[in-house]
Copies of this chain bind each other. A is one copy, B any other.
Amino acid sequence: MAAIAQGQPAKNRAVFQVSDADPQKWNLTLNNAKNVQDDLGSESVDLEIVVYGPAIGMLKGDSPVAKRIADALKSGVKVVACENTMKAQKLVHADMLPGIGYVPAGVVELMKKQHEGYAYIRP
């Protein structure tokens, strides 16, 4: 009965994976999120970007995409960093951009969200 337990339609929910250390992938992801909000209405969508592995540096305080991430957060997109990756790279919360969230393991978060009915997008 898993699917029924999930409760509500997945139509407007998506989880994005960012795991490459590639600013172009970030820009594509943030464009994707914006397009979804523009097309479906930002009030009615739940979007989450899960960041782990080599991509984690883009969430550091000196990130080249800091401004765009701040804009995404302001528009309602959730951005979460993988603490497993942070530990491996000796990063602490104080090193990271303000406003982001944290999850113990990025890949487990991706599994949970899909289980809850989120579409998965890997830009």
Interface, chain A (partner B; CB < 8 A): 1-14, 17, 19, 24, 28, 31-32, 35-36, 38-40, 53-54, 84, 104-108, 110-112, 114-115, 117, 119-123
Identical chains bound together, number? 3
**Which secondary structure dominates where chain A touches chain B?**
helix
> What residues on B are CB-neighbors of A39 within 8 Å?
104-105, 108
- CB of B36 within 8 A of CB of A108, answer yes
Query: Measured between alpha carbons, how far is A121 from B110 in the docked complex, in Å?
Result: 8
List the B residue with the shortest CB-CB distance to A111: B119
Say which residue of B13, B35, B111, B115 sits within 8 Å of A121 (CB atoms): B111
Shortest Cβ distance from A106 into chain B, in angstroms?
8
Give 6 closest A-B pairs by Cβ, nearest first: A3-B3, A2-B9, A114-B119, A111-B119, A32-B107, A35-B105
Contact indicator B108/A40 (Cβ below 8 Å): yes
